[in-house]
Amino acid sequence: ETGVTQTPRHLVMGMTNKKSLKCEQHLGHNAMYWYKQSAKKPLELMFVYSLEERVENNSVPSRFSPECPNSSHLFLHLHTLQPEDSALYLCASSQDGATQQFFGPGTRLTVL
Partner 1 sequence: AQSVSQHNHHVILSEAASLELGCNYSYGGTVNLFWYVQYPGQHLQLLLKYFSGDPLVKGIKGFEAEFIKSKFSFNLRKPSVQWSDTAEYFCAVTGSGNTGKLIFGQGTTLQVKP
> How many Cα atoms within 13 Å fall on the side-chain side of residue 45?
13
Distance CA 110, CA 31 (A): 27
- The count of chain residues that interact with partner 1, using the rule CB under 8 A, is 28
CB atoms within 10 A of CB 69: 9
Q: Which of residues 42-81 bind partner 1 (CB under 8 A)?
A: 42-43, 45, 48, 50, 55-56, 58
Comparison of 1 and 84: residue with beta carbon closer to partner 1: 1
The least CB distance from residue 66 to partner 1, in Å, is 14
Q: Given candidates 19, 20, 103, 108, which one binds partner 1 under the rule CB under 8 A?
A: 103
As measured in angstroms, the least distance from the Cβ of 79 to partner 1 is 26
Where residue 80 falls (left for φ over 0; alpha for ψ -120 to 50; beta otherwise) is: left
